[in-house]
């Protein structure tokens, strides 16, 4: 597809389980971002990838959160031992890197509910 | 104080009204300013992008940046029911890697 693709679109998991969220960025986009959006909150930055490396992980809220990117394309965000406060929409975005002010395109998000 | 402040609303206006949406920020290093529109259960989509201070117009939308006051605005003229959405301001610095977002303002335009 032409846009940023995320899966699953919806996920309900039990507290304490691990979850993996997948992002397939726009072809050719070397920059990839993960954001979290909780009810009534703005977008909270989690992590930024340039290629396969993550020069900015400053937004990851705890060591239960990790992310990787392979082949400069698909990224996986993993949340271990999920807690109820992890319930949110996890948004992935991508952009062309190296161009100041380039447009960041978002996917439709993975809606995570921890019960 | 959060880096970016935005009144969450909700804001309700009749069709045809002029809408003014605003954000304030504290980081003087921000140079790139954006407005995103987000429909319910969708990802944000870029609406307007402005570099540094000044105005930018695109159809019914006008974005303004006042760096001296650390204040940005989005104006929507002749608002339509299809404009009903959440509007998020976002900004970044020259060296920043991520956009910093406001909480978003929910707008409802009634016909």
Block residue for tokens 């019960």: A115
> Looking at beta carbons, which residues of chain A come within 8 Å of B44?
43, 91, 106
> Looking at beta carbons, which residues of chain A come within 8 Å of B46?
103-105
- Is residue A9 within 8 angstroms of chain B, CB to CB? no
Token readout for A91 is 């948004």
* Interface with chain B: mutation pick from A32, A42, A47, highest number of B CBs within 10 Å: A42
pLDDT over 80 (residue B11): yes
Please give the residue of chain B at the shortest CA–CA distance from A99: B94
- Is residue B49 within 8 angstroms of chain A, CB to CB? yes
Question: How far is A7 from A89, CA to CA, in rounded Å?
Answer: 12
Residues in chain B, total = 111
Q: How confident is the model at residue B38 (pLDDT cuts 50, 70, 90)?
A: very high
Encode pLDDT of A45-75 as tens digits: 999 999 888 888 999 999 999 999 988 899 9
Distance of CA B58 to the CA centre of its chain: 14
Q: Do B100 and A45 touch (CB under 8 A)?
A: yes
Among residues of chain A, what percentage have pLDDT more than 70? 95
Cα angle: B15, vertex A105, B2; to 5 degrees: 75
The three-class DSSP label of residue B83 is helix
Q: Do A108 and B43 touch (CB under 8 A)?
A: yes
């Amino acid at each position: 597809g032409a846009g940023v693709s995320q899966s699953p679109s919806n996920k309900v998991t039990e507290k304490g389980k691990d979850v993996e969220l997948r992002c397939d960025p726009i072809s050719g986009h070397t920059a990839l971002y993960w954001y979290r959006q909780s009810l009534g909150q703005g977008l909270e930055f989690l992590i930024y990838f340039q290629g396969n490396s993550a020069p900015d992980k400053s937004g990851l809220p705890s060591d239960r959160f990790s992310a990787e990117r392979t082949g400069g394309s698909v990224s996986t965000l993993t949340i271990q031992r999920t807690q109820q406060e992890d319930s949110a929409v996890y948004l992935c975005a991508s952009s062309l890197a190296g161009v100041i002010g380039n447009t960041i395109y978002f996917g439709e998000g993975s809606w995570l509910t921890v019960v | 104080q959060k880096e970016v402040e935005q009144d969450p609303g909700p804001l309700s206006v009749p069709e045809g009204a002029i809408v003014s949406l605003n954000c304030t920020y504290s980081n003087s290093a921000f140079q790139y300013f954006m407005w995103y529109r987000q429909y319910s259960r969708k990802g944000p989509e870029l609406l307007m992008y402005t570099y540094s201070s000044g105005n930018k117009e695109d159809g019914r939308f006008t974005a303004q940046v006042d760096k001296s006051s650390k204040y940005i605005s989005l104006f929507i003229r002749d608002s339509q029911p299809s404009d009903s959405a959440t509007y998020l301001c976002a900004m970044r610095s020259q060296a920043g890697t991520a956009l910093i977002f406001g909480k978003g303002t929910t707008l409802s335009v009634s016909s």
